[in-house]
Amino acid sequence: METESTSNPPEGTEEQSNLAETLKKWENACKNCNPLTPIVCQTTCNIWKSKNEFRKLYEKMKNPAFMVNLLNTLKNKRRIQILKIVSKSRYSITRLQQELKKLGYNHSKKTIAEEYINPLVDVGLVDEVQNQYRATTFGTRLDKLLKDFYDLESILPPHSECYEEITLNILLSEPKTFEDLKDVIPAKSVARVLGRLQKAELAETTKEKDYVFFFRTKRDSKKGKFSLTEKRVYESIPLEGVSARKLAENARISLRRTYKYLRKLKGKKMVFSRERPKSYTLTAKGAQLSTLLHGICVIVAETSETAAQLVRDKESHDLLMADASQVKHRKKEKEIVPLPIIHCVKENYRENLR
């Protein structure tokens, strides 16, 4: 029996970002392991404990509100501090209370358990064994990602539907208009969400409410008669359009004269104008936070895939071990699939479908 060399995951396995590779290593280790009884595996094997951790996490992730609950849980400085503490070692409530006091937080054991520990356990970031708390693999990965973002609650609303986070994720790819955002979050919430993001200096927009952009028509410019300045203005208009102010800079003439020649070009049907509503984009601070949120989504998606794979493997194993009579009457199991991370990557999925 060779259980000692395979009962523990390879050093640093939990720290790998590629969970699929880690899963393969676990499976190879389990194939070469021959414990005397299943109870030996369950009580002494760290690989079995890690697998079981992911299976329990899969059950939590089946909650449609999991992503919202996770983000709202992370928007609390004390919870993040506790996650950081238990990522290093196991802690009892008493020891956690002592560690929090060192950080300037004075709370009763009941408050620590109910307000800070339990929410972390509910979303699978922390696990409890014999009144000792430690971060799960999932929790450890998120703790490393968060780094200096321990004060999210002062930046984002702590108890919300996470529309701000969704908006930040959408704006990470490119600027969006008010109408674009109405397609993703409730229309009645768009103005409030944008107001909060702008107040927190996470998003910004241009001062003007609307731009008038000028474009070339499809008419053949060779058939038109231009003065030298008209030609310069016409050739300074890019295919994607341009505002009058930017066009004046490109053509190196005053704004007043730019409008004069645009009117002439419009009369010759060589130019047309179109209104473009203002768009919203991220500030440097907003881009940093949005990148963090995207990283959280990636970790959740990878964890969901790993958890789903382990659930599939366990059900396949149970089916093989069942008696013939049990197999005959066994109901067909529903296909286990990775859980969609709807709230965080909704816009990314939409882009991929185009």
- The span from the CA of 160 to the CA of 116, in Å, is 18
242-243 sheet: strands from edge to edge: 242-243, 210-216, 271-277
What 3-state DSSP class applies to 274? strand
CB 17 within 8 A of CB 144: no
Query: Do the domains 210-277 and 13-137 match in fold?
Result: yes
Q: Are strands 279-282 and 242-243 parallel, antiparallel or unpaired?
A: unpaired
- And the tokens for 29? 């280790």
CB 266 within 8 A of CB 272: yes
- And the tokens for 230? 């008209």
Domain chopping of the chain, boundaries: 13-137, 163-204+283-353, 210-277
What 3-state DSSP class applies to 238? coil
| DSSP track, 311-333 | HHHHHHHHHHHS-HHHHHHPPPP
Is 101 exposed, middle or buried (CB count within 10 Å of its CB: 0-12, 13-18, 19+)? exposed
CATH number assigned to the domain with residue range 210-277, chosen from the 4 options 3.50.50.60, 1.20.120.400, 2.40.420.20, 1.10.10.10: 1.10.10.10
pLDDT at 38: 67
- The span from the CA of 278 to the CA of 291, in Å, is 23
CA distances from 8 to 51, 178, 248, 273 (A): 12, 53, 69, 68
Low-confidence ranges of the chain (pLDDT < 70): 1-20, 23, 26-29, 31, 36-38, 40-44, 48, 148, 150, 206-210, 313-354
Closest by CA to 310, choosing from 34, 29, 58, 35, is 58
Closest by CA to 312, choosing from 1, 51, 12, 3, is 51
Architecture of the structural domain at 13-137: Orthogonal Bundle (1.10)
pLDDT at 20: 66
Question: Model-level pTM?
Answer: 0.70
Contacts (Cβ under 8 Å, ≥6 apart) of 44: 3, 7, 35
Angle at 245 between CA 232 and CA 233, to 5 degrees: 10
What distance lies between CA 83 and its chain's CA centroid?
Answer: 19
